[in-house]
Amino acid sequence: METEDGRIGWGECNPFWPINGETVETCLAVGKHLAKALLGHEVSDMEGAHRIMDRLIHGNSSIKSAFDIALHDLAAQEADQPLWAYLGAKSTRTLTTDYTVSIGSPEKMAVDARTIVQNGFTVIKVKVGGSKEEDVSRIRAIREAIGMAIPLRIDANQGWTPEQAIEILNELAVFNIQHCEEPIPRWQFMEMRRVKEASPIPVMADESCCDHHDAERLIALGACQRFNIKLGKSGGLFKAKKIIALAEQHGMEVQIGGFLESRLAWTAAAHLAQVSDAIRDFDMDTPLMFTADPVIGGITYSAGGLIALPEGVGHGATFDPTYLERAEAVT
C-alpha cells in the first residue's frame, strides 16, 4: 500500500480455508474491491478504514487483515514510531514461542517432542482431537519421552463432542497441560461453559473467537478462560486490540497465534504481543517450518524459540523484490 508522499506499507494474509472460508482466489478478488474503497483514505483513521471494509463486504477477515497490517505499517511510519509503540506499548519484551507436534501416531509424536526439547524449546504445543484412547496415548507417549517438567499445550481443533471433551480433559489433567484450544465445534459455543466448568484444564477459545464481538459473546456466556488471537481471524490489529482490552477487563489470558503466514505478518503479530500483560502465551512457530523465507527485516528467531523485534519505524518487514518479481500480481 502506497501513500501520496511515497511511503510504502506492507501487509500479508494466509487464507485458511476451513476457518476463514477464504482462498487465495477470493482474497485477490475481494482485495481489489477493498483497495478501490480505501483509495484516498487517511492511513491513521483505522476505525474509519475498518468501517469502510465491513460495510463493503461481510467477513473476509483474512484479506482485511492484510490491509489492516499495511495501514498500521504506514500509520506507524507517519508517526515516526515502531509499530509496538504506535499500538500503545510502553516497552518491549523478548517473546518465546512454543513448537508444535503435529497429530500422528503416539510413537511419531513422542519422537517429535523429544527433538523439540533437544532443540531448546521450553513449551510444546500438541495437536489432538481424536478418540479418548488415541489422545491419551499420544500425550502419555510424549510425557514418557520428555518427562513432566516442560509444559504442554493441547489443541483439539474442534475435534471432540462436549461429552468427549469433558472425559478426555479430565483424563489428561495429570500430564501438566497448560490449556486446551477449542475442544468442541465452534458452532457449539453454547456448550463451552459446561466443558470449561467440568474441565481441570483451562479452555482457550480459538475458532469460536474471531473478532471482539465473538469475545464479548463468549465472556457473557462464561465460556472460557482464555482467547487465542490470530490476525487472520480478527481482521487485523485494530480488532485484535479490542479483544485484548476485553480480556484485560475480565481478567482473562491471551495467546498470540496465527496461520501459515511468513515472517512479515508474524512480525506485526509480535508487535501486537507487546501491548498487554494479559498476553501470556506465544504460538508463533510457523516461520520456523518453512523451507524458504522471502522476508527482509522483520522478527528474528534464535535458539529455544526466542523472538526479537526489528528496530526502526513501522513494523520493519518487507518482501524480497526478487521474490515478488516471480509472484502473481494484481494492482
Question: Domain of 111: which CATH number?
Answer: 3.20.20.120
Tens digit of each residue's pLDDT (9 = 90 or more) over 104-116: 999 999 999 999 9
Please indicate, yes or no, whether residues 69 and 161 belong to a single structural domain of this protein: no
Quick check: 148 and 123 in contact, CB under 8 A? no
Please indicate, yes or no, whether residues 217 and 276 belong to a single structural domain of this protein: yes
Please indicate, yes or no, whether residues 212 and 259 belong to a single structural domain of this protein: yes
Please indicate, yes or no, whether residues 167 and 136 belong to a single structural domain of this protein: yes
Please indicate, yes or no, whether residues 72 and 103 belong to a single structural domain of this protein: no
Tens digit of each residue's pLDDT (9 = 90 or more) over 12-35: 999 999 999 999 999 999 999 999
Q: Is the pLDDT of residue 140 over 90?
A: yes
Domain contains 330? no
Domain contains 267? yes
Please indicate, yes or no, whether residues 188 and 68 belong to a single structural domain of this protein: no
pLDDT-above-90 percentage for the chain: 98
Tens digit of each residue's pLDDT (9 = 90 or more) over 44-100: 999 999 999 999 999 999 999 999 999 999 999 999 999 999 999 999 998 999 999
CATH of the domain at 65: 3.30.390.10
150 backbone dihedrals φ, ψ, rounded to 5°: -75, 125
- Of 84, 119, 140, which marks where a domain is finished? 84
Q: What is the pTM of this model?
A: 0.96
Domain count, the chain: 2
Positive or negative, the Cα torsion across 238, 315, 99, 290?
Answer: positive
Domain contains 323? no
Which range marks the domain in which residue 45 is found?
17-84
Task: Give helix 162-172 / helix 132-146 axis angle, nearest 10°.
Answer: 20
- Of 34, 54, 84, which marks where a domain is finished? 84
Q: Cβ neighbours of residue 76 under 8 Å, at least 6 residues apart? A: 82, 83, 85, 86, 313, 314, 315
Quick check: 215 and 49 in contact, CB under 8 A? no
- Compute and round to an integer the Cα radius of gyration of the chain: 20
Please indicate, yes or no, whether residues 67 and 151 belong to a single structural domain of this protein: no
Q: Is the pLDDT of residue 331 over 90?
A: no
Which of 46, 77, 89 lies closest to 315 in space, CA to CA? 77
Residues with a catalytic annotation lie at 127, 155, 181, 206, 230
